[in-house]
Structure formats: C-alpha cells, structure tokens
Amino acid sequence: MRLATKIADLTGPGITDRFGVGGTDLGTTTTAPQGHLVSVFGDTFRQAGVGGPGWRSPVVLFGEAASVPRGLRWTGAAGRPGAARQVVRYIHHGWRRHGLRLRRVTTVLPTDVITVGDDMYLHVMVCRELGNVRWTELHRSRDGGRTWRPTGTRWPADLHGGLFQMLTWERGTDGWVYAMTTGFQREHGLLLHRVPEPELTDPDAWQTWGIADDRWGWGNPPTVVLPGRFGELSLRRVPEGRWLLSAFDAGRYCIDVRVLDGPTADLHRAPLATVLRGCDWGHEDHTCGHVAQLYGGYVLPGSTLEELHLVVSQWNTATGWPYRAMQFRADVSELP
C-alpha cells in the first residue's frame, strides 16, 4: 500500500493572502447545513510563518465541497471581507474568567467541529502555552460557521485524568455522537465517549466506554481503548458504511488511518494503514508521504476508502516556515 500523495498546499502565500492568512495550521473540516465546507484553523498570522502581526485563533475558512478531489478551493472566510477574523472572543496573553477565578490564557485552539441538524458545534482547548490546557469548551454557530457563540459548556482540563482535552467526534446512525479523546501533550492513549445528539451541550449526558467485571460497556469508568502517544485525531464515517480514525502518532512519528466497523470496534485489531511518515528536513518527498515535522491529518468531507483526503499540517519550528496546511490523498480500500 502506497503512502499518501500531496494534492495541494491549502494555506500560505498566493493561496490564503486575501483572507489575511499567511501562516496557520490544523484545518479540521465539516459540512455546514447549507452544503459548503467549514474548516477551522489554529494559531494564524498575517505573514507566512509563526509570529508577527495578526495573531488569531481559531479562524474559519469556507470551501467548495465539489473541489475536494482536485484540491480544496476556498470561497470565503468568517469575518469582514479581506480578513478571516478570530471567531472566539478573547485576548491572546490575556485573562479569562473560569468560575470565580481569572486565568491567564495564551491561545484557544480548535480540536474538531461537527454539524448536528441546523447547528454547528466547535470544541476548543483554552490554553496557557502549547500543551497546557486550562479547560475545554463548546461554541455554536447557527449561520453556517460565520459567527460563533459560547454554549456555556465547559470541561475541566483534568477530566478523566487529563484525557478529555483533544477531541474528535462523529454522528452515528443511532442518534448518538461518538467521540475519541486524549490529552494535549502527545503522551497519552485514547478514550471513547458518546452523548445523545440533543444533549451534546450537557456534560452530565456524556457517557464513557470502559471495562467493568471483565466486560466493556457504556457508563463504566473510562478505560483506554488504545495506548500510545497520540496528538491530532479525526473520526469520520465514510459512504461505504465504515468509520475512519486518522491519528497523529507522535511515538512513531506518523499519521495512521484505522478502518472500523463502528465506534466501539477493537482498535488493537482494526485494519491500519500508515499513510504519512515524518522525516528530517532535506529528506521530504510529498509524492510518497514523507513530510518533515508533520501533524494533523483531518479527514475531509466527501472522502471514501479509495479516495481518502486529509488536511495535514507542517511547521518548521527552527525557521518558522513552512507553517501551513496541505491536502494529501490516500487509498485505504485494500484494508480488510
């Protein structure tokens, strides 16, 4: 099975300048109720690279669904014309109230976005520097991702031993939303949760998947479903009736895709394809999935097992550039 092939750069000079987006990363994406694609990016700067003017996070770009096979084409941004604005209200290196306390906040980073009926929900991590999560929270859009408002739903950073910080979710066919979660330190394994769609914003309605009396079940204390050192996650259903879990594996320096029969499938036994491998600078080959300082790996809407499209980030932490999102295509149809 071949590694993924690069289709296009999605952000950077000549691509997203008109939105005031030079350097950015992440890019988790869903389909809005109106049919356009909504991609949410993390720390964003006006210049190509990390730092400088125009620091915003998260920002939202709109894409044309039909353009995915050839390379996602942007049609607009959340904000005034000519600039993708920050869609969550706060001040970088400022203070935000959490309960009765004011907490220092550096940035707010998106983990995943989902559409349920006419509403869209964005899960974010409120951070004091990278890896240090203050808490997580939900925001909602009722106008196709153009404006976002806090739902009031928050979770503490130490929930489930700190493994409910970075999240990916997907709607099932049974009225539940299923979510895989981990910490934001790239040092932990995965937990599985579910919540009824109408109660998505009620923390008490969320159930954990775990082992009790030697049996897996819902409502049991959470049990790690896959150990490891995971980062960015993307859980999505594809038209073939299967579920895909794309995950950045920091321990193995790669992005893997697992093909599941359902959200409770045994991740130890699920068919797996390594679609991208990390490498040193100077040894890249984007035609066969060798990418320096890679992370992310978000499944784009419209993907199939044979035509799997991923948004992959790259950040040269020594020079500040590249700091961008790219689109890669893979074929995992040969997996059993």
pLDDT in tens, 209-258: 999 999 999 999 999 999 999 999 999 999 999 999 999 999 999 999 99
Q: Is the pLDDT assigned to residue 307 strictly greater than 70?
A: yes
Q: Is the pLDDT assigned to residue 25 strictly greater than 70?
A: yes
The answer to whether 72 and 300 are in contact (CB under 8 A) is: yes
End-to-end CA separation in angstroms for the chain: 13
Write down the domain spans for the chain. 5-330
Distance CA 309, CA 300 (A): 6
- Beta-carbon contacts of residue 207 (< 8 Å; ≥ 6 apart): 193, 194, 195, 218, 219
> Dihedral, CA atoms, 317, 318, 321, 327, nearest 10 degrees?
-40
Q: What tens digit of pLDDT does each residue of 261-299 get?
A: 999 999 999 999 999 999 999 999 999 999 999 999 999
State mean pLDDT over 167-189: 98
Alpha helix stretches (DSSP H) within the chain: none
- Beta-carbon contacts of residue 98 (< 8 Å; ≥ 6 apart): 126, 134, 135, 154
Q: Comparing C-alpha atoms, which of 254, 192, 194, 211 is closest to residue 229? A: 254
Bond into 322 cis (ω within 30): yes
Does the model's pTM come out above 0.85? yes
Q: Which residue has 């100077």 as its token pair?
A: 282
Distance CA 283, CA 301 (A): 30
CA distances from 119 to 47, 114, 140 (A): 33, 9, 7
pLDDT > 70: what percent of the chain? 97
- The overall average pLDDT reported for the chain is 96
Residue 216: what pLDDT?
97
Q: Is the pLDDT assigned to residue 116 strictly greater than 80?
A: yes
Residue 188, token pair as written in the block: 């932990």
Q: How confident is the model at residue 1 (pLDDT cuts 50, 70, 90)?
A: low
* Topology of domain 5-330, CATH: Tachylectin-2; Chain A (2.115.10)
Residue 100: what pLDDT?
59
Q: What's phi and psi for 331, nearest 5 deg?
A: -125, 110
The answer to whether 192 and 264 are in contact (CB under 8 A) is: yes
* Beta pairing partners, 284: none
State mean pLDDT over 158-183: 98
DSSP β-ladder status, 290-292 and 272-279: parallel
Please give the residue that has the higher pLDDT: either 104 or 75. Answer: 75
- Beta-carbon contacts of residue 173 (< 8 Å; ≥ 6 apart): none
The answer to whether 189 and 267 are in contact (CB under 8 A) is: no
Furthest CA-CA distance within the chain: 58
State mean pLDDT over 6-12: 98
Residue 72: what pLDDT?
98
State mean pLDDT over 68-97: 89
Three-class secondary structure of residue 149 per DSSP: strand
Ramachandran region, residue 79 (left: φ > 0; alpha: ψ -120 to 50; beta: rest): left
Distance CA 236, CA 251 (A): 23
Residue 336, token pair as written in the block: 């059993």
